[in-house]
Structures are given as structure tokens and as C-alpha cells.
A = this chain, B = another copy of it.
């Protein structure tokens, strides 16, 4: 048990195109949130500060512990552990808000990992998932683990709601990279979710289900060709693409550069592609160029598929 600990939790790609609400991939490359937790005499979880990418006090995020995914997640763990006294959090956001990169999930995950290290009897990592989910639920308005699970555990995770809190780490094929481009646009996840159609035809969902089942099989078999034939979203992407003005151009650029598939990360505006490792840098450049050509600033990351999950920092 320490008095002050720092945890880092990476950004992540929710849905991964083919697996709405149930598939997610951790990102490497340094995009992530940090939470510094310290024992405090005030009972329960409090927030000392929330800082943004620029190191300044965050202009939007609340330090009210009832209104921040980090503190809600940490409080859930604190209560479950029956811990006495309190803990105070410093939340340092490294993942841009409403970017489709799992910003709220990264805060929730970093918070539970940090606070867990303050407990007399810390839980196993997998046991932290329900608490991180409690925080994420506040932000997204639903019980979806597709950002929380990969941010916590790393790599590629299958996490359908029907199996929660159990999740399945999927093996990933060697030699494949994820490229993520974050255009300087914002999409509100909860709002994007409310905009989705409520009714669907059987044909539509059987198509999507077929792609997802095939994608899972492809990952487990290390079959890169099959990944290329199954990394598709025919249900959600068509409904959301219009809200991200650069999407079609960026996707076209990615596919032309040889992507195995390309779709929105979460509800966007970030856009990801999977591709053979050797094409990663070129892919990032092609996608960025397509964005810039429309006058939209952007940032990109290239990540292996087996990126590390959340961890304590010394």
C-alpha cells in the first residue's frame, strides 16, 4: 500500500467498426489519461484537479466527484472494497474529449487502477472492470465495455453486454497495425447514440453478424485476408458517417493506401484503419492528407494490435 500512486490508461478504438458496442482495441503511442491518487482524510473519493492536454486546469470537466467518470469509477471500487477514509484524485487528460478515442473510459480506468493500488487488498485487474464500467456508464449512458475493457486489459477485446463482466481477450495476428486519425471535430457519444435507428431488418443484422463472426475467427486464426473481407460496418457507419465531414475522403484514402478496412472509432470523429504493419506510416500520412485537404487539422497514431493496457507508473 502506497500513499500516492499514478496510473496511466490508454486511449482505445471502440466498436472497431465491425463490432458495435462489443469490440475494442487499445492504442499505444502515448495517448491516454493519467490519474494520480493519494490517501485523504475526507471520506470517499474527491477530485483535486482535472487538467487538459495543455497542462492547464480543464475548462469543461467537473471536479464534482458525482460528475466525473474517474471519481464515479473509483467510488464504486472504494465502496465495494469497504475501504475507510478517502482518496483524492488528480486527473490529467491526455485523450481529447468527444474524439471517439475512449476519453471517458481512459479516465475511469486510470482512476480504478490508481485507487486499487491504495487498497489494503487490491483486486486482480479483471476485477476492476465493473467499477471502470460504472464510471463509463455515467458518460455514455449505457453499459458498454468496448473502450473500458481494452483500455484496462490492452490488446483486442470482445466484450458483448450479454457476457459482462466477463470479457474475452482475442489473439491478434502478427504483422497488422492500427492507424488512428483524430480530426479536430467533436461528436457527442450519447447524442450520436440517440440518433441511431431503433428498428432493423433481419437481413441487415445477419450481414453484420456474419462479418463480426468472421472477423473474430480471422483474428483467432491469424488470417489477414479474412480480416480484410470482414472488417465492415454496414449498420452503424452509414448512420454516423454524415456527422464527420471528412469521413468519406479519409476512408477512400485509407482504402486506396491498402487498408484492410476503415471505419469510425467509436462514434467518431476519429477514424481508424487496420493495415499490414509495413503500410502503417504511409497509411497515417494518406489519411492525414485527406483530412488536411479539406482544411481540417488532425493528429494520427500508429499502433500494434497488442498494445499494453493500463498500468501503474513509478
Q: Which of B162, B198, B216 contacts A216 (CB 8 A)?
A: B216
Whether B209 lies near A205 (C-beta < 8 A) is yes
A211 to B198 alpha-carbon distance, docked (Å) = 20
Please tell me which one of the listed residues B23, B199, B230 contacts residue A200 in the complex, with CB atoms under 8 A apart.
Answer: B199
Output the nearest chain B residue to A230 by Cβ-Cβ distance. Answer: B163
Please state if B161 and A214 are interface contacts (CB–CB under 8 Å): no
- A276–B186 alpha-carbon span in the complex (Å): 51
Interface string of A1-34 (1 = CB under 8 A from B): 0000000000000000001111100000000000
Q: How far is the CB of A100 from chain B (nearest CB, A)?
A: 19
A166 touches B229 (CB 8 A): yes
Majority secondary structure of chain A interface residues (helix, strand, loop or mixed): helix
Question: What is the distance, in angstroms, from A137's C-beta to the closest C-beta of chain B?
Answer: 16
Contacts of A43 in B (CB 8 A): none
Partner of A160, one of B21, B161, B213, B220: B213
So how many copies of this chain end up in the complex? 2
Q: Pick from B20, B21, B168, B207: contact of A162, CB below 8 A.
A: B207
Q: How large, as a class, is the contact surface on chain A?
A: 35 or more
- Structural contact, A168 and B214, CB atoms closer than 8 A: yes
Whether A22 touches B201, Cβ cut-off 8 Å, given contacts A163-B229, A216-B217, is no
Q: 23 A-B pairs, CB-CB below 8 angstroms?
A: A20-B206, A22-B206, A22-B209, A22-B210, A160-B207, A160-B210, A160-B211, A160-B213, A162-B207, A162-B210, A162-B211, A163-B210, A163-B214, A168-B214, A168-B218, A197-B202, A199-B199, A199-B201, A200-B202, A212-B212, A212-B213, A216-B217, A217-B220
Given A158-B213, A163-B210, A200-B200, 10 more pairs with CB closer than 8 A: A158-B214, A160-B213, A162-B207, A199-B200, A200-B201, A205-B205, A212-B213, A216-B216, A216-B217, A216-B220
